[in-house]
Amino acid sequence: MPRFVFLFAWFFLLIEPAHLPAQSTYLSDVPLGIDWIIIPDDNQMSDAKIELGKQLFFDPRLSGDQTVSCATCHDPNHGWADKQRFSQGVRGEKTSRNVPSIVNVGLHRTFFWDGRAASLEEQALFPLENRAEMDIRLDQLEQRLHDIAGYRRQFDAIFPDGVTAKNVGRALAAFQRTILAGETPYDQFRGGHADALDGEIGVGNGLFFGKAHCGNCHIAKVYTDHQFHNIGSGLETSGKDRGLAERTGRQEDVGKFRTPLLRDLALTAPYFHDGSKATLEDVVDFYNEGGGKNPNLDPHIVPLNLTAAEKQALVTFLREGLRSRDYPHVEKPLLPE
């Protein structure tokens, strides 16, 4: 695990004071193209905490029947996502949404497709208690980890209060903030390498931020606007999954889902919150046709009238232009006993 360097926020406030909260720290040892990985004041990073989070992430003992780990659905070999449309949890249960990748998850401001968690620490505990995912009570989890001597020693060395569910969330979040990918051709182009987007990749880049209007929501560099949009996907199941409206209760939020990050997109099929698009070609065709018509359709989603050659160039950019040179490969750790 690489050592991470932390810089105090006052340095960054000299650069972009309007966007950064005071008295926070930031992960600075990051790939080209990645910025502003915020480290909460109450969960500072350390090698020991990151390693503990890594062990917890890969440990099936965190699930009720001890068969499912975080890595079961967030597979490092599949873009830290799942190749299935809906993931399988304990007892063969299925998730109701496609599992998003956690690559560069530290860039997010809210978590889950409907934004119901405000921090990585909070997000980490939701799947544990979800009956269709890991299905374990937090008090049961605390007791189980406390009974494992290796975990008990690590928690006691890192946290003053030892094994608690909150500290499980902190350790998992610390590890997830290190799952970073950058150095894509797009990042190299922005870094001053004019030839990084030559040929069809460059044509696709121009379409992405031009005629195809992708950049309206997938804003340059971070590739998200941190907002929620109705693109018309999953209309056949809209009665079951209302998206952001599940959290807000507002009719105008029905069908809205968070804008995902896009780096290493080629590894994370299928796509959209409902996993309804199997390939990047399917995704581009969907947007080219103007999404799925419905009363709440985002005004940015309109027919694009791309030619066959333009669609292919856009797919090439999504597949090759956003492929990371230093993709986060992680070996499964030895688990404590």
**Is 214 marked within a binding site?**
yes
Cis peptide before 270 (omega within 30 of 0): yes
Round to whole Å and give the CA distance between 200 and 314: 8
Residue type for 293, please? Answer: K
Q: Strand, coil or helix: what is 215? A: helix
Half-sphere exposure of 89 (CA within 13 A, CB side): 22
Listed in sequence order, the DSSP H helices in the chain are 9-13, 47-57, 70-73, 120-123, 126-129, 138-146, 149-158, 165-176, 185-190, 199-208, 245-248, 280-288, 308-316
CA 170, 171, 176, 178 torsion-angle sign: positive
Q: Taking a C-beta distance cutoff of 8 angstroms, is the pair 301, 231 a contact?
A: yes
CA 85 → CA 56, 118, 203, 276, distances in Å?
Answer: 25, 25, 31, 7
Distance from C-alpha of 204 to C-alpha of 134, rounded to nearest angstrom: 40
- CA distances 227 to 133, 218, 244, 256, Å, are 26, 10, 10, 9
146 is in an annotated binding site: no
The torsion defined by the Cα of 162, 168, 172 and 174, in degrees rounded to 10, comes to -40
3 state SS of 266? helix
CA-derived radius of gyration, the chain: 20
The verdict on whether residue 217 carries a ligand-binding annotation is: yes
Closest to 272 measured CA to CA, from 281, 284, 260: 260
- Taking a C-beta distance cutoff of 8 angstroms, is the pair 335, 327 a contact? no
Binding residues: 70, 73-74, 214, 217-218
Binding residues for heme c: 70, 73-74, 214, 217-218
